[in-house]
Amino acid sequence: MDFFHFLGGWACACVCACVFFFQIAAVLVPIVIGFWTSTGGSVVPKKKILNTVIWIFWTNPIQYALNSLTSITFFCDTNKPECLNNGANMACLNSPAACAQCSCPRVSDLNNVFVWTQLQFNRSLNNARIPIDMLVLAMFVIFFRFVTAVLLYFRMKRMQTK
């Protein structure tokens, strides 16, 4: 979670460096963060985002953070022999009694489906993408730091000429 806050901090610093008045930044930062949160895949799932604006999803740093954190937290191999056994034990899909030795958590409100299966379907998650998501997050942090440094440099230079 610290990486997520680090990214948000540099994104906010970048917005603050872009505007001339910090009062405007105080209004813009919650709008930008709210927009990123709503298009990050948790409020509006990727499957429901229109194809014309799917670029917003892929350029959103919060979706990479949410996907990696959700995959790390909730991943459970449901195809292992104790659970679905690669489709051989389909009774285990909705009945915990059919596979009592399966340790994967379930959502009791949704007919006992596996938590990971439900999240994977709703959020289009892939556990193998964790390293890629973390790399993209690191690139976003570096980008925001660079843009912030450049903007602050030119702002300071402009203030010195006045």
**Which pLDDT tens digits describe the chain residue by residue (162 residues)?**
455 555 556 666 667 667 767 777 778 778 877 877 788 877 888 888 888 888 888 888 888 888 888 888 889 888 888 888 888 888 888 888 888 888 888 888 877 888 888 888 888 888 888 898 888 888 888 888 888 888 888 878 877 876
- Write the DSSP string, 127-147: GGGHHHHHHHHHHHHHHHHHH
Q: Is residue 93 included in any domain, yes or no?
A: no
Residues contacting residue 67 through CB under 8 Å, at least 6 positions apart: 41, 123, 125, 129, 133
Q: Is residue 98 included in any domain, yes or no?
A: no
- Prediction pTM value: 0.70
Q: Is residue 123 included in any domain, yes or no?
A: yes
Residue 2, judged by CB atoms within 10 A of its CB (0-12, 13-18, 19+), counts as exposed
Q: Is residue 62 included in any domain, yes or no?
A: yes
What pLDDT, on a 0 to 100 scale, did the predictor assign at position 162?
A: 66
Q: Is residue 134 included in any domain, yes or no?
A: yes
Q: By residue range, what is the domain housing residue 15?
A: 2-75+105-161
Q: Is 111 left (phi over 0), alpha (psi -120 to 50) or beta?
A: left
What pLDDT, on a 0 to 100 scale, did the predictor assign at position 34?
A: 80
| Cα separations in angstroms, 27 against 5, 31, 34, 62, 141 | 19, 7, 11, 19, 22
Q: Is residue 100 included in any domain, yes or no?
A: no
Q: Is residue 27 included in any domain, yes or no?
A: yes
Number of domains in the chain: 1
Q: Is residue 30 included in any domain, yes or no?
A: yes
